[in-house]
Amino acid sequence: MSADTRRIIAGPFNRVEGDLEIRLDINGAAVREAYVNSPLFRGFECILEGKDPRDALTIVPRICGICSVSQSMAAAHALAAAEGVTPPPNGERIAAIIHAAENIADHLTHFHIFFMADFARAIYAGEPWYGMAFEQFRAKNGTAVQDAMNARASLLHIMGLLAGKWPHTLSVQPGGATKASDLRDRVRLLAIIRQFKDWIEKSIFAAPVERILAIDSLDALRAYHAEAPQSGSLRLFLTICDALELGSMGPGPKRFMSYGAYPVEGRHLLPSGIWEDGAALPVDTGLITEDLTSAWMNGETAHPFEGRTLPDEAMANGYSWCKAPRMAGQTVEVGAFARMLMSGHPLAATLLHDGAANVRARVVGRLFEIASTVLALEQWAAEIVPGEPAMVHGRLPQSARVEGLTEAARGSLGHWLVVEKGRIASYQIIAPTTWNFSPRDATGTPGPVELALRGAPVRQGEETPVSVQHIVRSFDPCMVCTVH
Amino acid sequence: MKRPGRTVLWLQSGGCGGCTMSMMCAENPGLFATLENFGLDFLWHPSLSEESGSEVIDILNDIIAGKRTLDILCFEGSVLRGPNGTGKFHILAGTDRPMLEWLRLIAPLANYVVAVGTCATYGGITAAGNNPTDATGLQYDGRNEGGALGAAFRGRSGLPVINIAGCPTHPNWVSETLMLLSEDALALSDLDTLRRPRFYADHLVHHGCSRNEYYEYKASAESLSEIGCMMENLGCVGTQAHGDCNTRAWNGEGSCTRGGYPCINCTAPEFEEPGRIFTETPKIGGIPIGLPTDMPKAWFIALASLSKAATPSRLRQNATADHIIAPPADRNTNLK
């Protein structure tokens, strides 16, 4: 570290799920290097070893209180692969509705409670938009914060209706969902979904969702903004994007990945793929490895079917409990924006800056996904056939080697399960934030957030630079999933 | 009339954050309105507060230095004692100090200490399996008193740790406990033998279960998604589990059993290691192990065999279906 470089340890980093510490080497008015530490290790992969594979459905949702259903889905997909079952259409739709409700609720929580509060900080008091940001988004008391909490609670009535409760449901099963819907469930669902749709159209978009989803370029987004800059939270965010240049802040690696999600009758609503240089390539999970160079973990770089979780209790080498997953040796960025690119939405590519995602792209990606998912929710609910089964029953084999892939709100989630003699021999999990918040690998290549923080502006006297907070939270990290 | 302010510090450690996520589902009134109207002031909450980094560390140090009064400490997640008693499986970000130490420094300064969720109360799911992190609850390690703070620990109020057990906790188990504490209205006698607030723990999950009629006649579901009683075959322990889950709805109108899956007794110590598969009932000689609470075994067997013999055909048919196939007969119940 040269003489003109100072070091800041930023943490505890709140308004992210779980605990996060970031070491920043700051040179002049910008971050030179960042090192991301996930400081909490719980050892779920160790806890699962030796158990009956079916117990994973009780244990894995408890990895995470915010993406609990996504964890259930990944386990259910892995077990379904082992059993060789496919849920009946009603079961797929009900599972997709439960999963999508969680993902939407998470996006809502992220935008209103975790992310926007930083623009209500006193440091921005001189900005022309500060009054609105403070009124609507200041932590705990902002009007939009309270509104969003109520809208979220109402949306999650979907869980009470279909999944018993949230978080930590056991309703998502390899063969579908445990509660078959009846006549009234269908219309009650539609009532909840339509009420929520009305709310996002009023509060977030100040426009119909169909109109939002038709925005097909950055210019069209600007035109939407210019129509009524004071109207709707998305427009307030776009005002702030322009003022703080968030459209170029926090560039990640120029590769994106999605595993795809919401399989219904042979088709995933969200497609899988890897995006690089404008081309979408298929995902080959055989090329995934986890590198342990910077992790407090013992063992070698390995594919998750071969990898183990052996914590280095001396914490001798490394700076995080997080392993460093790589796809064909490279970092990838995952999340709603990656999914937007993969889905071919024309706005997505125009939000890239110099080929990379940024704070604006990530947040817009999430809000657009709320809009598109609400339409899907409405369609799935309408298509439920009362009286038809929601679940089939399979038998687990004595041995299996299977993966379960899905998309949590924050990005790609995979479970790799090895069953021997009817018990879990190995259970490896790579969560979205494991990808995005990974430490450096053997080549010294930084993880996506570590890269995105390079060059982040630092104001005079800042202890935890606000730009760092915007960039970190733009990824919506879930630290409890990261290390699990 | 607004109550005088009570300060609340919320810390998270070896858990999933799901009790906070659940608490944010509070409705009518919502969470923030409830807090405000009972004068509950969050000095810091990891998911809800603006303060980050050094601002947070200042708050913690001010409490330790006696510059700020702490009325209520809420702790969510297990306390990780490993490796080797150091607590280093969770060093609080930015502090180089294990959460175990922060807890032991701050807890004695709080008037009330509240463990939120089964991880914080008894160790919970983080203590499952081989318990790789030596996870424990604040004042219980499973069923044994002790835990991270020790059996003798008392908050400044004289109360031991209040255990809001549940995985996750219902939003209102937490908000009602906090409301009561804001009025100093929760006494030791309001806690059960495992120090859970009795207002929810004196009920059984069985109370108000929508499958009660199937239970009465031992009309049992055989597989998940069937609507019969889940006690005989599917591992449901709602007749033994403490909680008002079926009289106080979750997320509108839900509960585990209404969602089609068994109660796994998540408000109890050591629920994470039931010694069996969660969704299967172990049996000896065809009789389920695990009797309903307070029920003599001989009577249970006698009543069960009697009621099984008397099961109406309607219930027998419906119990193994995924929706009602035989509706109740329409009878004129007017007394003439």
Give the Cα-Cα-Cα angle B35, B80, A418 (nearest 5 degrees): 110
On the question of pLDDT at A1 being above 60, the answer is no
Domain extent, residue A330, equals: 5-483
User: Percent of chain A scored above 70 by pLDDT?
Assistant: 99
Judge if B157 and B245 occupy the same domain. no
DSSP-derived secondary structure letter, A302: B
Q: Which tokens hold the place of B283? A: 């049996």
Distance CA B33, CA B31 (A): 6
Nearest CA in chain B to A141: B32
Q: What is the dihedral of CA A398, A401, A404, A405, to 10 degrees?
A: -170
pLDDT of A349 strictly over 70: yes
Does A2 have pLDDT greater than 70? no
Q: Which of A78, A101, A87 lies closest to A163, judged by CA?
A: A101
Residues B129 and B10 in one domain: yes
Number of structural domains (chain A) is: 1
**Same structural domain for residues B176 and B101?**
yes
pLDDT band at A338 (very low <50, low <70, confident <90, very high): very high
Residue A471 has pLDDT above 50, yes or no: yes
pTM above 0.95, yes or no: yes
pLDDT average, residue stretch A24-44: 96
Q: What is the CATH number of the domain that holds B213?
A: 4.10.480.10
pLDDT of residue B285: 81
Beta bridge partners of B263: none
CB-CB neighbors (< 8 A) of A169 in chain B: 256, 259, 261
Q: Provide the pLDDT for residue B289.
A: 80
Task: Compare all CA atoms of chain A with the CA of B26 and give the residue at the minimum distance.
Answer: A153
Neighboring chain B residues of A170 at a CB cutoff of 8 Å: 256, 259, 261-262, 264, 278-279
Please give the structure tokens belonging to residue A141: 């008391």
d(CA A452, CA A253): 8
- Ramachandran area for residue A277 (φ above 0: left; ψ -120 to 50: alpha; else beta): left
Q: Is the peptide bond before B160 cis (omega within 30 degrees of 0)?
A: no
Instruction: Count contacts between A and B (CB, < 8 Å).
Output: 282
> Is A326 a residue whose pLDDT tops 70?
yes
Same domain, B194 and B311: no
The 3-state DSSP class for residue B166 equals coil
Q: Is residue B169 part of a domain?
A: yes
Residues of chain B short of pLDDT 50, as ranges, are: 1
Residues B195 and B259 grouped into a single domain: no
Domain boundary among B141, B169, B201: B201
A284, pLDDT greater than 90: yes
Q: What is the value of ipTM here, to two decimals? A: 0.97
Task: Give the mean pLDDT of chain A.
Answer: 96
Q: Tell me the three-class secondary structure of B209-239, residue by residue.
A: CCCHHHHHCCCECCCCCCCCECCCCCCCCCC
Contacts of B258 in chain A (CB under 8 A): 160, 164, 179
State the Cα–Cα distance between residues B30 and A127, nearest whole angstrom. Answer: 31
Chain B positions in Cβ-Cβ contact with residue A464 (cut-off 8 Å): 52-55
How close A158 comes to chain B (CA, Å)? 8
Q: Domain for residue B331, yes or no? A: no
Instruction: Check residue B284 and give its pLDDT.
Output: 86
Q: CA–CA separation, A207 vs A145, rounded Å?
A: 20
**Which 8-state DSSP code applies to residue B90?**
B
Cα→Cα distances B303→A174, B169, B290, B293, Å: 36, 34, 15, 15
Measured distance CA(B43)–CA(B7) in Å, rounded? 6
DSSP B125: G
Q: Which of B32, B55, B125 sits opposite A149 (nearest CB)?
A: B32
B85 backbone dihedrals φ, ψ, rounded to 5°: 80, 5
Residue appearing with tokens 């042979």: A266
Q: Do A42 and B22 count as a contact with CB atoms less than 8 A apart?
A: no
pLDDT band at A312 (very low <50, low <70, confident <90, very high): very high
How far off is chain B from A461, nearest CA to CA, in Å?
12
* B38 within a domain of the structure (yes/no): yes
Residues B177 and B250 in one domain: no
B93 contacts A20? CB cut-off 8 A = yes
Task: Name B144's bridge partners.
Answer: B141
| B196/B75 same-domain check | yes
Closest chain B CA to residue A156? B251
Work out the pLDDT band at A277, boundaries 50, 70, 90: confident
Asked whether residue B329 is assigned to any structural domain, the reply reads no
* Residue B336, domain member (yes or no): no
Domain boundary among B201, B233, B267: B201
Quick one: closest CA in B to A143, which residue?
B32
Look at residue A461 in the predicted model and tell me its pLDDT.
Answer: 84
Q: Give B90's contacts in chain A (Cβ within 8 Å).
A: 19, 39-41
Q: Does a structural domain hold residue B1?
A: no
Q: Are B73 and B9 in contact (CB under 8 A)?
A: yes
| Domain CATH for A75 | 1.10.645.10
Q: How far away is chain B from the Cα of A259, in angstroms, using its nearest Cα?
A: 24
- CATH code for position B138: 3.40.50.700
- HSE at residue B132, side-chain half, CA atoms within 13 A, is 18
Number of domains in chain B: 2
Helix and strand element counts for chain B (H, E): 10, 13
Burial class from Cβ neighbours inside 10 Å (0-12, 13-18, 19+) for residue B141 reads buried
Residue B210 lies inside a defined structural domain of this protein: yes
What pLDDT sits at residue A3? 65
**B167 and B128 share one domain:** yes
Euclidean distance between CA atoms A411 and A434, whole angstroms: 10
What pLDDT, in 10s, does the model give residues A290-299?
999 999 999 9
Same domain for B231 and B147? no
Of B125, B260, B266, the CB nearest to A179: B260
CA distance A278 to A280: 7
Residues B114 and B163 in one domain: yes
* Residue finishing a domain among B174, B201, B228: B201
Q: Is residue B335 part of a domain?
A: no
Residues B133 and B255 in one domain: no
For the segment A337-341, the average pLDDT, to the nearest whole number, is 98
Shared-domain flag, residues B223 and B168:
no
Give the alpha-carbon dihedral of B213, B219, B220, B221, to 10 degrees. Answer: -80
Using CA atoms, how far apart are residues A411 and A308, in angstroms rounded to an integer?
A: 23
How far is A123 from B10, CA to CA, in rounded Å?
25
Q: Which residues of B touch A113 (CB under 8 A)?
A: 24, 47-48
**Residue-number span of the structural domain to which B169 is assigned:** 6-201
